[in-house]
């Protein structure tokens, strides 16, 4: 039985190699000879499982398990996508999918949270980047593949799941109950901070993110107190952004760069080597820019931060990013199944590989709480009985009421607070330099007859 089965499997594997050449649509060098001894061992193990395992397992399941194992042994991001997994991947890039709202990877056999996504059940329940999930309900994660674990986290909207997690700084595992929901991601959020300072938050890079960024910059400029002039500064918030579509990262970088290389990829096959350049069609080429990153900023987020940092276009603030510098290509197999395979590494314009290293911020700022000193002990002119009224007091009160919500946001987010302070400092410095330059301009002598 072993010999016929061995040659059957050999034929299947050989066909798979050539079928992949056709799918990718380019001629390749003929594959090297397959290792017969290893294939013989595989066939023997396959047959032993068929005949001796405690329960009957059909051949299709065994072969699919073998494929899953072959890919999971390569790296944490390569995987075989069944029909449901392939459909979920398509949904993720379009911004609507079901689940908990977390981007995850594998670490030491456990599920590691790369980042919780904004406004999702996971974020609202308090899941943090860096958490290790060790149990899903009563099922230990150890030994499960990434796809299998993700499948267990999916379910009907409204149904609960208990995540048992290990968190740095906690002595005991935490049990967090989360209700599943249909996840709808708003890729770009924006608001105006302090008159002419814009705040743009990208939660995930999707197909329409580039267009959304351009739209956000236009809206912020129109809302500023000087709508015909450019903004005095922009904070681009990429914290806890797990990445997404590569083309979207290029488009976001291009919104702030007029020329030059944004990112390039290098792999083993010819079409894996690609260079992405900025275009002259740039909505915000000169506006002062601060980019916020942290340990949950991964993949496409790191492409943007790295490009803007290498070009000296932005000040990068926050903490070290995640360090995912590899490119996954989705290779459809038959319309219903696909192979998600790591095919290249990407590099910043200066040739830095982000893989397992991440982006180091120009200014390191850890998240924390800022409590201003209470100044109520000081008496001011306005506290004196019979003080003269300020004619602009009513107007200022209206502006103050409108800015209350924004001030609360800045007050509770220390990193955002520091980013805004940096932008204001950059504006003051530029203004001072312009004044000094004007003062030093030599007078033009008068012309007399």
| Enzyme catalytic residues | 299, 310, 324
Residue 18 exposed, middle or buried by CB count within 10 Å (0-12, 13-18, 19+)? exposed
What is the four-CA torsion angle of 70, 330, 338, 23, rounded to 10 degrees? -100
Spatial CB neighbours of 71, under 8 Å, sequence gap ≥ 6: 78, 79, 80, 339, 341
Contacts of 126 (CB under 8 A, 6+ apart): 176
Instruction: Give me the helix-helix angle, 83-94 and 146-153, nearest 10°.
Output: 70
**Alpha carbons 241 and 250: distance in angstroms, whole number:** 15
Q: Which two tokens stand for residue 407?
A: 């001030």
CA neighbor of 301 nearest in space, from 129, 150, 109: 129
93 vs 112: CA distance, rounded Å: 21
* CA gap 170, 130 in Å, rounded: 13
Give the residue from 252, 364, 357 showing the smallest Cα distance to 316. 364
Q: CA 223: distance to chain centroid?
A: 28
Give per-residue burial for 408-424: e unless 16+ CB within 10 Å, then b: eebeebebbbbbbebbe
How many whole angstroms separate alpha carbon 418 and alpha carbon 24?
48
* Distance in angstroms (rounded) separating the CA atoms of residues 387 and 390: 9
**What is the token pair recorded at 141?**
């994660």
Comparing C-alpha atoms, which of 226, 236, 217, 222 is closest to residue 282? 217
Separation CA 257–CA 339 (nearest Å)? 34
Q: How many CB atoms lie within 10 A of CB 29?
A: 6
CB 326 within 8 A of CB 75: yes
Residue 333 is classified by DSSP as: S
């Amino acid at each position: 039985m072993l010999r016929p089965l061995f040659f059957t499997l050999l034929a299947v594997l050989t066909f798979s190699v050539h079928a992949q050449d056709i799918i990718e649509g380019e001629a390749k060098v003929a594959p090297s000879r397959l290792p017969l001894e290893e294939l013989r061992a595989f066939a023997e193990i396959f047959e032993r499982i068929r005949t001796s395992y405690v329960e009957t397992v059909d051949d299709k399941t065994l072969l699919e398990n073998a494929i899953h194992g072959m890919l999971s042994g390569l790296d944490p991001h390569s995987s075989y996508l069944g029909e449901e997994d392939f459909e979920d991947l398509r949904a993720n890039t379009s911004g609507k999918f079901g689940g908990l709202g977390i981007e995850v990877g594998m670490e030491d056999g456990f599920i590691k949270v790369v980042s919780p996504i904004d406004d999702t059940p996971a974020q609202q329940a308090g899941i943090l980047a860096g958490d290790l999930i060790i149990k899903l309900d009563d099922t230990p994660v150890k030994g499960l593949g990434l796809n299998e674990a993700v499948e267990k986290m999916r379910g009907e909207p409204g149904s609960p799941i208990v995540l048992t997690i290990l968190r740095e700084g906690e002595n005991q595992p935490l049990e967090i109950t989360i209700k599943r929901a249909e996840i709808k991601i708003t890729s770009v959020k924006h608001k105006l901070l302090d008159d002419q300072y814009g705040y743009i938050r990208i939660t995930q890079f999707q197909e329409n993110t580039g267009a959304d960024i351009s739209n956000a910059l236009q809206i912020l400029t129109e809302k500023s107190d000087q709508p015909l002039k450019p903004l005095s500064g922009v904070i681009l918030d990429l914290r806890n952004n797990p990445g997404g579509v590569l083309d979207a990262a290029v488009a976001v970088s291009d919104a702030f760069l007029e020329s030059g290389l944004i990112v390039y990829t290098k792999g083993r096959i010819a079409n894996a080597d690609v260079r992405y350049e900025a275009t002259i069609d740039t909505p915000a080429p000169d506006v002062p820019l601060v980019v916020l990153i942290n340990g949950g900023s991964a993949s496409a987020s790191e492409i943007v931060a790295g490009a803007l940092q290498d070009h000296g276009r932005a000040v990068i603030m926050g903490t070290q990013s995640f360090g995912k510098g590899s490119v996954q290509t989705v290779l459809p197999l038959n319309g219903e199944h696909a192979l998600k395979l790591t095919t290249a590494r990407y590099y910043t314009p200066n040739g830095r590989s982000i893989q397992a290293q991440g982006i180091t911020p120009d200014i390191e700022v850890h998240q924390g709480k800022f409590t201003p000193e209470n100044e109520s002990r000081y008496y001011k002119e306005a506290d004196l009985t019979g003080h003269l009224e300020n004619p602009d007091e009513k107007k200022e009160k209206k502006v103050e009421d409108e800015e209350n919500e924004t001030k609360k946001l800045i007050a509770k987010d220390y990193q955002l607070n520091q980013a805004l302070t940096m932008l204001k400092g950059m504006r003051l410095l530029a203004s001072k330099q312009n004044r000094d330059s004007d003062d030093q301009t030599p007078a033009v002598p008068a012309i007399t007859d």
